[in-house]
Structure 1
């Protein structure tokens, strides 16, 4: 998803070319000159009908986020629960993908790490976004709406978040064969720090290896009033090993392994909400995420019909919860023992993927056809370790196997100014119960879905284009739907139709020779029926709009995005309460000293969100009305090319400059107050 704004754009004007040139190699005219146009921090993706935002390496470094949640919540239409903490930071895109205060994921948002699907199961008041270290990634791509998500899932109605990890070549320059990059950072609010060490090795053109070792720790932060927000601190060790070997120009093998862990001691069982009955249940909790894959690629340079990859993937997500006092205090006179406090939750996924991209022409139509086959098994266990109980799975987290296979195809067809992109996915699954009370082992539930979309983009002029998408999704049942006495959810898939329409504008030299403007506005409408993810809800209607703009003038740059959404349930006109507040984000920056110094200031305004029936702040703090707020931030990056500091990277960021006290809608806690983050990095 590169954009022309990611590279220097050279404009040349030629004049007085003779009408009767005798030779194509002749030039008889006047060369007026060239103008180099810089980059904005976040380029707008105007060349596609997909509603997508790309956060590249430069922006990741500049923001100095402590969690991946802090990165993606800067995208219009995206909100998170506990976004500043990795624990239960559930993703919400266009109002879909998480139930704040209840579950972490419901299948409506896909999370992908280097092509690996993550976070597919619900864990009561503990599930959410995989706990990943931001320093691992070179790029984050956030697709809002169904978009290009059919490659990975049938039910990603809300959207897809794609994380791309770093490569050894990112840290090697010229003929370098080995490099070490060390980074240290400090964050004032929470008195925390981070260390990451990267080793890059490329002895020849065949072998490339990257090793990563990181550790991050942050204490409980303070809000704008100076009050400590309990249970928001965390520590996070992480590691990654990634290597590839190119046998020749056509054959390549890649191996990958990553490890992320986040332990907590003596914290409330409920990772979402403080102050309810679960707050009396104190536990030790360790969240571990492991991902590994081995891939073989075949891409002969003399055959455009073959760009093939076969991949075996292993993913393990584990939450271990223990407690010496497994009782919930119901009243001063009554406590209830619970098996929630001593359970090992584990989701293991193993699957094979075969993909090929073929590029060919049929008459005037240029095709880029992606086809794929995926076959796999997801095993879910929630083993109760408390000897007081009979064992088996925790009743809140049914266990079993999910055996599935899927075929999918996407064809990007270019016909002059018109681009059509049809997508199809057929998926079949068999869910099998194991270790669940009142459900016989081996009980099977089968389901299948045929889903797809058609996207179109037409360039009215070189600068202006219109686009639209029509998509149909089915969110197939997951193992969590296999609850006692509930046969409806396990036998019913959620269906949705999404319509999008939009306009994009992309031009150079608008007001000056060295400026560029990009803008994209998208209107969307989503209708969901046969709903199983939300209590007392059968239908959901959502409509909204998103705007993204970027402007560059010489060394100055500006980015802006805005979003708004409205929704109702059950055809009654009652408000759908999981929509984020309307928001506007603006950043302005300048590059100085030939790009060595980068300064930017950012402002975010969120309007009040009162379109909700909830008033209980104890049990539903995320969806009670929120007040409007405006916060400001400042970032500075300095990479000197000469002198004693040459080769170092010095960065500083100041968040919530005015120390505002606020709670983003859908968040269960007040946000951090003023915070300063300083970092120093050096590649040797």
Structure 2
């Protein structure tokens, strides 16, 4: 009750800010943009915790899965890397854990389509896709900036933006072909990605086919991490047409398809053997379609409309391999023969308007969303439908004196039910406010925010009526500082730093057995420094603490908390031609958990060579060594040892 009262007061304050039309503004400050020439740009200009992995870093990391791509952001941890089925993503203690691949508190969006599924027991992340299909991955940590996308994202969300034809053609008319070949020694991994882009006038068409295959990887001790490898074919079609006298209209269509086919593998994708459940034949199929229309009124800054229809179809078919478990009954357990399917259709309408009221500039985003999710009735889990309607709004209010305040809201209604389970209705009003103040031309800024969120019941809980009218609630508080500066130690150097501290309190918990409340707190640091000579340093760190059932007789550590981590990259660039770097990821020993984990220090090397002239111009050669010293270790939160040394080589050529 206290949480809801605090939330109501918070939302009333946000509403007042949304209607604010006047304030005393000082003289506007115009500062030159500062750019740190390193691996990753620190998002010092935002009030919320956000990390952007751009196309260059996606290629540089040579990741085999999307999970391996984003786990370098502070507060983001990979649980069991190495395969698209066995790995999961954890943000600020939420998301994947040792039991489920997701807990519904981390959102994933592909080109605008809502991905994800319910709490599939002992099966990893439901993000079955290839990282080579994307031009950008945005990680939002915490609740700030998430209400435009959905409810219940206590940990945060990941936005994946597919590649476009203009990424190949660079805006020029004609046809371009890009071929990428990738090799990895650990598991004999091979990937081939063929991308064709065509641009004629205002028409762009792109097609991509990626085939990735990998055998059995070994850990640092030389032990097999799995019993079988995997094949992952993926394709993507992305088209866009711009038209109108002022190019004010834009129509785009994105289609993608990814599938895996695994034979005689452990049902428990978190484990390394069949165990109690035994083995299964598992086929995974993921389809995504997004149809989008944009209208940018040429004579009205307030009208920037987007209409979007998206469809996501995720299917997992499993069949027990007879005799693979000495414990399972004939035919296997219900879980080992469960076929899962999730079909999510979403219709979105939103507008982003720019306006000035007195001495204040507004960037006002508002819209409505209808979502229909259907889950197949499985042998081990209930099927049903989850229908939601939501309206949302946010207003970035710039007072032109260094202060920016952004209130945001979301109101969502739900009708959820299934055969033999009845129908339930819920609604929730959520929102919050963030603020950032920049101190003139000093480069320093302070930032912070407070948000209230609710996680509405899910289809998987239909078998527990008490949960179906009990949304999980959470409050999130953040405060931090940021700095951008140049010419500090030498002419041409640049530094960007962002430090964010957070507290998250979750109540009315239904997602975890025996847990009623969770309290989390942590610090996240991102920094980048570069010299005019080409040397650079990237650094991020994460320190988190968590408690479940705080203040009760059953109070204990929250097992979803990752180990304290420091990640540092040292490198040098020679213009656009050569980039060499050495990355160190150090995890502290973890004792604040039911299962303790030893500390580890892992070294990775990366090199990128782009010839700027001659017959090889237009090609890129990438070389990397992951886990250079073949360390045998198991990251905290993981249930299997990490991969051992893996030497990777990637060749990309554009014709």
Structure 2-normalised TM-score?
0.91
Please give the secondary structure, in 2, of the residue aligned with 1:151: coil
Match of 1:306 among 290, 300, 303: 303
CA distance in 2, matches of 1:526, 1:340: 33
Partner of 2:383: 399
CA distance in 1, matches of 2:123, 2:33: 53
CA contact (8 A) 1:499 1:525 kept: yes
Say which is worse superposed, 139-148 or 169-178, in terms of deviation: 169-178
What is the CA RMSD across the aligned residues, in angstroms? 1.8
- Structure 2 CA distance for partners of 1:46 and 1:174, relative to 1, 3 Å: closer
Match of 1:426 among 394, 411, 416: 411
Deviation at 1:330, TM superposition (A): 2.7
- Structure 2 CA distance for partners of 1:244 and 1:338, relative to 1, 3 Å: same
CA distance in 1, matches of 2:631, 2:321: 39
Deviation digits for residues 18-71 of structure 1, max 9, x if unmatched?
xxxxxxxxxxxxxxxx99976111111101111001111111111111111111
Please give the secondary structure, in 1, of the residue aligned with 2:488: coil
Say which is worse superposed, 560-569 or 224-233, in terms of deviation: 224-233
Partner of 1:5: none
Match of 1:551 among 529, 536, 551: 529
Partner of 2:487: 509
Partner of 1:321: 318
CA contact (8 A) 1:327 1:336 kept: no
Deviation digits for residues 532-551 of structure 1, max 9, x if unmatched?
11111101111110111000
Partner of 2:337: 342
Deviation at 1:192, TM superposition (A): 1.4
- Structure 2 CA distance for partners of 1:37 and 1:118, relative to 1, 3 Å: closer
- Structure 2 CA distance for partners of 1:36 and 1:50, relative to 1, 3 Å: closer
State yes or no: 1:366 paired with 2:361.
Answer: yes
State yes or no: 1:642 paired with 2:613.
Answer: yes
Match of 1:264 among 262, 265, 280: 262
Partner of 2:430: 451
Partner of 2:17: none
CA contact (8 A) 1:131 1:261 kept: yes
Deviation at 1:597, TM superposition (A): 0.7
Partner of 2:235: 239
Alignment map for 1:201-216 (pairs within 5 Å): 201-204=198-201, 206-216=202-212
Unpaired segments ≥5 residues, structure 1: 1-33, 383-392, 614-623
Partner of 1:31: none
Partner of 1:489: 467
- Structure 2 CA distance for partners of 1:474 and 1:553, relative to 1, 3 Å: same
- Structure 2 CA distance for partners of 1:667 and 1:490, relative to 1, 3 Å: same
Partner of 1:532: 510
CA distance in 2, matches of 1:35, 1:199: 34
CA distance in 1, matches of 2:407, 2:36: 34
Unpaired segments ≥5 residues, structure 2: 1-31
CA contact (8 A) 2:52 2:136 kept: yes
State yes or no: 1:410 paired with 2:394.
Answer: yes
Please give the secondary structure, in 2, of the residue aligned with 1:61: helix
CA contact (8 A) 2:279 2:325 kept: no
CA contact (8 A) 1:329 1:336 kept: no
CA distance in 2, matches of 1:452, 1:328: 49
Partner of 1:76: 74
Partner of 2:453: 473
Please give the secondary structure, in 2, of the residue aligned with 1:202: strand
State yes or no: 1:602 paired with 2:583.
Answer: yes
CA distance in 2, matches of 1:145, 1:556: 32
- Structure 2 CA distance for partners of 1:489 and 1:90, relative to 1, 3 Å: farther
Please give the secondary structure, in 2, of the residue aligned with 1:235: strand
- Structure 2 CA distance for partners of 1:195 and 1:560, relative to 1, 3 Å: same
Please give the secondary structure, in 1, of the residue aligned with 2:94: coil
Deviation at 1:275, TM superposition (A): 4.8
- Structure 2 CA distance for partners of 1:176 and 1:247, relative to 1, 3 Å: closer
CA distance in 2, matches of 1:35, 1:49: 17
Partner of 1:134: 131
Match of 1:225 among 217, 221, 226: 221
Partner of 1:95: 93
Deviation at 1:175, TM superposition (A): 3.5
Deviation digits for residues 584-618 of structure 1, max 9, x if unmatched?
000011112x32011111001000112112xxxxx
Please give the secondary structure, in 2, of the residue aligned with 1:141: strand
Partner of 2:7: none
- Structure 2 CA distance for partners of 1:40 and 1:232, relative to 1, 3 Å: farther
Deviation digits for residues 267-318 of structure 1, max 9, x if unmatched?
1111112357435x22110111110011111112221011001111111011
Deviation at 1:450, TM superposition (A): 0.6
CA distance in 2, matches of 1:208, 1:326: 53
Q: What is the total number of aligned residue pairs between the two structures? A: 616
Please give the secondary structure, in 2, of the residue aligned with 1:150: coil
CA distance in 1, matches of 2:415, 2:342: 16
CA distance in 2, matches of 1:53, 1:173: 25
CA distance in 1, matches of 2:222, 2:49: 39
CA distance in 2, matches of 1:247, 1:480: 45
- Structure 2 CA distance for partners of 1:639 and 1:579, relative to 1, 3 Å: same
Deviation at 1:253, TM superposition (A): 0.7
- Structure 2 CA distance for partners of 1:449 and 1:326, relative to 1, 3 Å: farther
- Structure 2 CA distance for partners of 1:433 and 1:641, relative to 1, 3 Å: same
Bigger Rg, structure 1 or 2: 1
Deviation at 1:552, TM superposition (A): 0.9
- Structure 2 CA distance for partners of 1:513 and 1:327, relative to 1, 3 Å: closer
Deviation at 1:127, TM superposition (A): 4.5
Deviation at 1:680, TM superposition (A): 0.9
